[in-house]
Amino acid sequence: MTQKKKLVYVPMAVDFIHPGHLNIIKVAQELGEVMVGLFTDKAIASYKRLPFMSYEQRKAVIENVKGVDQVVMQETPDYEDNLRKYKPDYMVHGTDWREGPLKDVRAKAIAILAEWGGQMVEPEYTKGISSTELHVHLREIGTTPQLRLAKLRRLLSLKNIVRVSEAHNALSALIVEKTEVKNPGRGTQSFDAIWLSSLTESTAHGRPDIELVDLSSRLKTVNDIFEVTVKPMIFDGDTGGITEHFTYTVRTLERLGVSAVIIEDKKGLKMNSLFGTDVSQTQDSVEAFCNKISLGKKSQVTNDFMIIARIESLILKKGMDDALTRAGAYMKAGADGIMIHSQAKDQSEILQFCKEYQKFEKKVPLVVVPTTYCQIYEKELVEAGVNIVIYANHLLRAAYPAMVKAAESILRNGRALEASNAHCMSVSEILKILPNKV
Ligand code: SPV
Ligand code: MG
C-alpha cells in the first residue's frame, strides 16, 4: 500500500522568481507534496511594497515552477488561518525570519504546527539575492509615465491606507523613495507616494505659498523628482487656477505620469490653509468649483489620472454641513477623491466629517492632512475610513532648523569643526547618497 504523501506548506511573497525561491521549493519537494501559499497583493502591500506583477500573473508563474503541486491564497502575513485550514505536515521557510520583525510570526507558526505534530523546516537563506535587492535594482532601471501614473489607483485598491510624504526637490523625494523602517509585527514601513506640496516647494524657492511659483517652474521640480524616483506623485494644484487653464494643467500632469492633482475650493488670492481665518480667503461657489472639476475630468486622456477635490469649509469656519454638501456635489461633478482639510489642533472635527462621509452611498477615496492634529495615529485614520494620509511638510520643517543650527555654529565658533562634528553628516556619507554610475 502506498503511503499518502506528506503535505508541505511553503508561504511565498514572490514577485520575480529567483534562485532563493527555487532552493526553498527543492527542499519542500523532497519532503512531500508542495502547496505554495502565495501572498495576495494586499498581503504583500501590507508589510512591504506593491508587487510589480498582479496576483494572477504571479500565480501563473509559480504554478509552472518545477516541484510546485498547488497554489493557494495566503491573504495575510500571518499563517494561522492557512495552517489550520490545510494542517500541513511541514512548513518550509528560509532562515531569514529567525531574527527581526518576523520572529513572532515564526514562533506562532511553529506553535500552531505542533498542535498536530507538524514541523517547521528552515533551509539556509540564499545570500546575495533577495526580492528586496531585485526591487532596488529595478528602481535604478526606472519606470515609465504610464506605470507610475497607474500606481496610485493600484495602491488604493490594495492598502488600508496610502501613506504619502511631502517632497520639495529631488533630494527630499529620494528620502521619500528610499526610507524604510522595520517595525516588529508591522513589517517594513515606507512611504507609498510623493506629495509635491505647494507650501514646501514655494518655501524651498523662497516664496510665499500664494500660487506665485508658476506651473513651468513646478513642472521642472516634477521632472527633477521623476528623474530619481519611481513612486507615484500627488500634485498640489492649489486652486487649479482659472478653469480654462486647469484643463491644460490636467493633461500636462497626466502626460508626465503624475497620478493625481488635488485642487482646493478657493478663489482669488490663495493663501496657505494653515493661516485659517487669520487672513482673508474666499471659498469658490459650489457651482463654479464643480464646473472646474467636471471640465478637468473631461480633459484627461487616461482613466487612471485622478482629480481630487479639496474642501476648505472647516478651515474657513463655514461649518460641517457646508463641508458635507460640498463633498456630495464634488463627487457628483466627477471628483475621484475628496480631501478634507482642518487646522484644528484637535482631531474631532476631522473624525466627525469622516463619520458623516461614510453615509454617502457612493464614495470616493478620502484624503486627510494631519499637520495640526498630528497626534493622530494612522490606525485611527484607517478606522475612520481615511484612504490617503499626507504628511505635507515635515521633511522641510525638519531640514530648516538643522541647517540653521549648522550655520549658527560656524558663526559662533569662527570655524566649521563644531558644526561638522555635531550637525553634519560626513562627506563620505553625502558622496554615497547618490549612486555614481560613471
Ligand atoms: C501644502 O502642503 O501645500 C498644502 C497642505 O496645501 S497645507 O499646507 O496644510 O495647506
Ligand atoms: Mg498647498
Active site amino acids: 209
3-state secondary structure of 204: helix
Residue 236 main-chain phi, psi, to 5 deg = -80, 105
The C-alpha torsion from 286 through 254 and 213 to 313, rounded to 10°, is 20
pLDDT above 60: residue 1 = no
The C-alpha torsion from 346 through 273 and 292 to 299, rounded to 10°, is -90
> Does residue 259 contact residue 306 with C-beta atoms inside 8 Å?
yes
Residue pLDDT, tens place only, 53-65 = 889 999 999 999 9
- Grid cell locating 259: 497620478
Mutate to test the pocket of ligand 1, among 198, 207, 311, 371 (most ligand atoms within 8 A of CB): 198
**Portions of the chain given CATH number 3.40.50.620:** 7-131
Please give the Cα distance from 42 to 258 (Å, whole number).
23
pLDDT above 60: residue 144 = yes
- Grid cell locating 426: 560626513
pLDDT above 70: residue 438 = no
The ligand minimizing its distance to the Cα of 273 is: 1
Compute the distance from residue 239 Cα to the ligand 2 centre, in Å: 9
pLDDT at residue 99, as a whole number:
83
For ligand 1, atom 10: residue with the closest CA: 273
CA distances from 386 to 30, 159, 164, 169, 214 (A): 47, 11, 13, 27, 31
CATH T-level assignment (fold) for domain 7-131: Rossmann fold (3.40.50)
Atom of ligand 1 nearest to the CA of 209: 3
Compute the distance from residue 303 Cα to the ligand 2 centre, in Å: 25
> Does residue 335 contact residue 360 with C-beta atoms inside 8 Å?
no
Atom of ligand 1 nearest to the CA of 262: 6
Residue 5 vs residue 368, higher pLDDT:
368
Compute the distance from residue 260 Cα to the ligand 1 centre, in Å: 15
Residue 94 vs residue 396, higher pLDDT:
396
3-state secondary structure the chain: CCCCCCEEEEEECCCCCCHHHHHHHHHHHHHCEEEEEEECHHHHHHHCCCCCCCHHHHHHHHHCCCCCCEEEEECCCCCHHHHHHHCCCEEECCHHHCCCCCHHHHHHHHHHHHCCCCEEECCCCCCCCCHHHHHHHHHHHCCCHHHHHHHHHHHHHHCCCEEEEEECCHHHHHHHHHCEEEECCCEEEECCEEEECHHHHHHHCCCCCCCCCCHHHHHHHHHHHHHHCCCCEEEECCCCCCHHHHHHHHHHHHHHCCCEEEEECEECCCCCHHHCCCCCCEECCHHHHHHHHHHHHHHCCCCCCEEEEEECCCCCCCCHHHHHHHHHHHHHCCCCEEEECCCCCCCHHHHHHHHHHCCCCCCCCEEECCCCCCCCCHHHHHHCCCCEEEECCHHHHHHHHHHHHHHHHHHHHCCCHHHHHHHCCCHHHHHHHCCCCC
pLDDT at residue 399, as a whole number:
97
Residue pLDDT, tens place only, 230-278 = 999 999 999 999 999 999 999 999 999 999 999 999 998 898 988 888 8
pLDDT at residue 432, as a whole number:
85
Residue pLDDT, tens place only, 274-326 = 888 888 889 999 999 999 999 999 999 999 999 999 999 999 999 999 999 99
Residue pLDDT, tens place only, 359-405 = 999 999 999 999 999 999 999 999 999 999 999 999 999 999 999 99
* CATH of the domain spanning 142-392, picked from 3.30.565.10, 3.30.70.120, 3.20.20.60, 3.30.70.250: 3.20.20.60
Query: CA-based angle 91:94:99, to the nearest 5?
Result: 110
Compute the distance from residue 199 Cα to the ligand 2 centre, in Å: 5
CB atoms within 10 A of CB 66: 8
The ligand minimizing its distance to the Cα of 312 is: 1
Q: State the DSSP H helix or E strand holding residue 295, giving kind and residue range, or none if neither.
A: helix 286-299
Residue 119 main-chain phi, psi, to 5 deg = -125, 150
**Portions of the chain given CATH number 3.20.20.60:** 142-392
Query: CA-based angle 345:393:379, to the nearest 5?
Result: 60
pLDDT at residue 48, as a whole number:
75
The ligand minimizing its distance to the Cα of 342 is: 1
For ligand 1, atom 5: residue with the closest CA: 392
Mean pLDDT over 180-189 rounds to: 82
Residues with Cβ–ion distance below 5 A, ligand 2: 198-199, 236
Q: Which residues line ligand 1 (CB under 6 A)?
A: 197-199, 209, 236, 272-274, 369, 371, 392-393
pLDDT at residue 153, as a whole number:
97
Mutate to test the pocket of ligand 1, among 281, 315, 371 (most ligand atoms within 8 A of CB): 371
CA-wise closest residue to 166 among 199, 138, 119: 199
Q: What is the DSSP code (8-state) at residue 142?
A: -
pTM attached to this predicted model? 0.84
Residue 139's pLDDT band (cuts 50, 70, 90): confident
Residue 74's pLDDT band (cuts 50, 70, 90): very high
Atom of ligand 1 nearest to the CA of 238: 6
**Average pLDDT of the chain to the nearest whole number:** 93
pLDDT above 80: residue 134 = no
Compute the distance from residue 94 Cα to the ligand 2 centre, in Å: 46
